[in-house]
Structure 1
Amino acid sequence: MDLRRQSVGRTSAHAPDPRTEVHAYTVTNGQGHAITVWTYGATLVDVSVPDRHGRLANVVHRLPDLRTYENRTLNPYVGSTVGRYCRAIRNGTFTLDGVPHVLDRNDGEHHLHGGPAGFDRRVWQAWTEESADEAAVVLRLVSPDGDQGYPGTVDVEAAYRLHRSGRLTFDYRATTTAPTIIGLTNHAYWNLAGGGTIDGHHLAINADRTVAFDSDLLPRSGPPVPLAGTALDYRTPRRIGAAAIDNFFVLDDATWAAELADPDSGRRMTVVTDQPGMGVYSSDGPAAPRRGLCLEAGAWPDAANRPDFPSVRLDPGDVYEHRTTHHFSVD
Structure 2
Amino acid sequence: MRSWTVGTTPGGAHQGPMAVDAYELTGADGLRAVVWTYGATLAELWVPDGTGGSVNVVLGHPDLTAYLEPRNHYLGATLGRYSRNVGFGRFRLDGAEHLLDLNDRGHHMHGGVDGFSRRVWTARPEADGTALRLRLVSPDGDQGYPGELVAETVYRLVEHGIEFEHSATTSSPTIVDLTNHSYWNLAGTGTVDDHLLTIAATRVIEFDQRMVPSAGPPPPVAGGPLDFTSPRPLRGCTADRFFVLDGPQPAVELSHPGSGRTMRIRTTAPGIGVYTADRFPTGARSGICLQASALPDAPNRPDFPTVRLDPRAIYHSRTVHEFVLG
Common fold: TM-score over 0.5: yes
- Alpha-carbon separation, structure 1, partners of 2:148 and 2:112: 16
- Look up the match of 1:94: 91
For 1:329, the aligned partner's letter is V
Distance in 2 (CA, whole Å) between partners of 1:260 and 1:38 is 25
Equivalence for 1:249: 243
Partner residue, 1:111: 108
Does structure 2 conserve the Cα–Cα contact (< 8 Å) formed by 1:52 and 1:267?
no
Q: Secondary structure at the match of 1:225?
A: coil
| Structure 1 gap segments, 5+ residues each | none
Change (3 A) 1:15 1:147: closer
Q: CA deviation at 1:142?
A: 0.4
Q: Which amino acid aligns with 1:220?
A: S
Deviation (angstroms), 1:264: 1.1
What is the alpha-carbon distance in structure 2 between the residues aligned to residue 65 and residue 17 of structure 1? 20
Moved more, 53-62 or 199-208: 53-62
Asked if the contact 2:84–2:293 (Cα under 8 Å) also holds between the matched residues in 1, the reply is: no
Which residue is 2:317 aligned to? 322
- Spell out the pairing of 1:1-331 with structure 2 (5 A cutoff): 3-13=1-11, 17-73=15-71, 75-131=72-128, 135-163=130-158, 165-287=159-281, 288-331=283-326
Shift of 1:55: 2.9
- Quote the offset at 1:103 in angstroms: 0.3
Whole-angstrom distance in 1 between the partners of 2:305 and 2:183:
26
CA distance in 1: counterparts of 2:219 and 2:51, whole angstroms: 42
Please provide the CA RMSD for this pair: 1.3
Q: Is the 8 A contact 2:78 2:181 kept in 1?
A: yes
Percent of counterpart pairs with the same letter?
Answer: 50
The count of aligned residue pairs is 325
Cα separation, partners in 2 of 1:17 and 1:159, compared to 1, 3 Å: same
Q: Classify the secondary structure of the residue corresponding to 1:226.
A: coil
**1:15 CA drift (Å):** 7.5
| Alpha-carbon separation, structure 2, partners of 1:111 and 1:215 | 12
CA distance in 2, matches of 1:7, 1:311: 39
Deviation at 1:50, TM superposition (A): 1.6
The runs of at least 4 aligned residues of structure 1 exceeding 6 Å deviation read none
Q: Work out the CA distance in 1 between the residues paired with 2:106 and 2:55.
A: 40
Unpaired segments of 5 or more residues in structure 2?
Answer: none
Offset, 1:47: 0.4
Per the normalisation by structure 1, the TM-score is 0.95
Distance 1:107 1:256, change over 3 A: same
Counterparts of 1:145 and 1:254 in 2: how far apart (Å)? 37
**Which amino acid is 2:55 matched to?**
A
Change beyond 3 A, Cα 1:98–1:13: closer
Q: Aligned equivalents of 1:184 and 1:14: distance in 2?
A: 21
